[in-house]
Amino acid sequence: MSKSQLLYLTGTLGASAAAAAVAALPGCTSARQTEADKPMNIVYIMTDDHTSQMMSAYDTRNISTPNLDRIAADGVKFTRSFVANSLSGPSRACMLTGKHSHANGFTDNTTCVFDASQPTWPRYLRDAGYETAIVGKWHLESLPQGFDYWEIVPGQGDYWNPDFIKQNGDTVTERGYLTHMITDKSLRWLDERKDPSKPFALIIHHKAIHRNWLPDTADLDLYEDVTFPLPETFYDDYAGRLAASTAEMRILDHMDAIYDLKMDHPDSTSALKERYLSYVDRMDPDAREKFEKFYQPIRDDFHARKLKGSELAEWKYQRYMRDYAKVVKSLDDNVGRVLDYLKEHDMLDNTLVVYTSDQGFYMGEHGWFDKRFMYEESLNTPLVMMLPKGLNARGDIDEMVQNIDYAPTFLELAGVDVPADIQGRSLLPLLKGEHPADWRDAIYYHYHEYPAEHSVKRHYGVRDSRYKLIHFYNDIDSWELYDLQEDPRELNNLYGKSGYEKLTTEMMGKLKVLQEQYDDPIRHNVKSE
């Protein structure tokens, strides 16, 4: 092989893949690869709408998640982990591509179809010799490409007796509870891999803990004796925050008693009742019987009491928290199954295990459920990693990271050159225990989906270690500025107030820099102050 051919292979495939290609050529020899030199496996587990407040590694007030906490205990927990767009499909596209929504083309769930032919980190890893698979939720309106194996649920998927789209194009209804089934299929793929000598990257994407929080029947009785503490901002009046006041995600007014809380009744009506029935009608008779037996006494009591106002809001909140917590329990159990499998098969020393969610979620903060806003509860997402040998960081990592950083991290871990158009930054130095002096001091966010469900206005913004600036735009022109140290609940909008002119100018400058850095086409809307 000529020098130019070797340089071509190295530049195209990355050093590890190029070395493998050279070794495979007739007449070529190479030293036997040592165990320490082998590319690391990657198991990437992502849930939907799992928020840090409901994971005990981050917050012990509400529930216990022992298996998720195992990941952090044997590795690292990122304390400032953020998304680039707090919405399921766009967040997944950011993760796969390492690019912000405007750069990968999937800005919202209502109008976009993800171009699955574009470069993604699983495609790069596959080209570099990895076996790659994705099982579970895709939610990008296209079909996966660049994987050796895939099996996904259509759209959001169903908790009970779900449909699966197979790689051959068939859609098949299968029996069971989806969280268990996704885990079963993922572990089966590990057992049946075509070439076990190859490194692998397995993406396990759960529907859990997405609305409408249908628990496994085995977990129905859990948390019924728990009264969850009401968030400090549960009765927020949204003073000084126009966009927050117009959003339609209040537990009192917008959480559906039938669809969300299972309070079906012969005399009750709801715009979402038929959708609710379509979900529970999928259950097998025995599961449906257990489900109805559990909820019927609660329904009878609810409809007899005819609650209103704050009593109704707080009753809804408790039911919401309990159902959400039950769905987390099943998820945590199944994460434990994956960890146990990896341990039993001696894979942990050479496998990076990542757990995260596609965004955070409101658990009654500001009186809300759902996500979308750049406020902390939905901007933050849990991120923990169980680290293999060679990655020595342990405990909390406080640097600011985003989901656009996952792609370059996995590529660098696999020895693949990170393409110049990827906008995230590899987390590998942080996983080695390093603290680069030039690490980012601010993150950029842009939410695009309006008009749409929950009526959250389009907005973009910048967050640094202390302050946050947000611009709501399109059919609104509203700015918000927060001091997260003095006002962590984001109740006091400082924008336009006397004494904050210099801070506003500084944050405007940071916003402009990031919009130009990421080449966001709306960057010219930034005001000069």
Rounded CA separation 308/288 (Å): 30
pLDDT at 5 over 90: no
- 16 domain residue, yes or no: yes
- 77 domain residue, yes or no: no
- 92 domain residue, yes or no: no
- 319 domain residue, yes or no: no
pLDDT one-digit tens code per residue, 20-33:
443 443 333 333 33
DSSP state of 506: H
Helix (H, G, I), strand (E, B) or coil at 229: coil
Position 16 confidence tier, pLDDT thresholds 50, 70, 90: very low
pLDDT one-digit tens code per residue, 115-169:
999 999 999 999 999 999 999 999 999 999 999 999 999 999 999 999 999 999 9
Q: Which residues contact 31 (CB under 8 A, 6 or more apart)?
A: none
pTM: 0.92
Q: Is the peptide bond before 122 cis (omega within 30 degrees of 0)?
A: no
pLDDT at 213 over 70: yes
pLDDT one-digit tens code per residue, 63-89:
999 999 999 999 999 999 999 999 999
Average pLDDT on 291-309 reads 97
Rounded CA separation 286/278 (Å): 17
- 484 domain residue, yes or no: yes
What is the token pair recorded at 499? 């004494």
Rounded CA separation 330/332 (Å): 5
In terms of phi and psi (left: phi > 0; alpha: psi -120 to 50; beta: otherwise), the region of 139 is left
> CATH number of the domain that 484 lies in?
3.30.1120.10
Q: Which residues contact 374 (CB under 8 A, 6 or more apart)?
A: 86, 445, 447, 459, 461, 463, 468, 470
Q: Which residues contact 145 (CB under 8 A, 6 or more apart)?
A: 116, 117, 123
pLDDT one-digit tens code per residue, 397-429:
999 999 999 999 999 999 999 999 999 999 999
Burial of 337 from C-beta contacts in 10 A (0-12 / 13-18 / 19+) = middle
CB 461 within 8 A of CB 471: yes
pLDDT at 529 over 90: no
What is the token pair recorded at 11? 């530049």
- 480 domain residue, yes or no: yes
- 496 domain residue, yes or no: yes
Range of the domain at 29: 1-33
- 80 domain residue, yes or no: no
Total domain count, the chain: 2
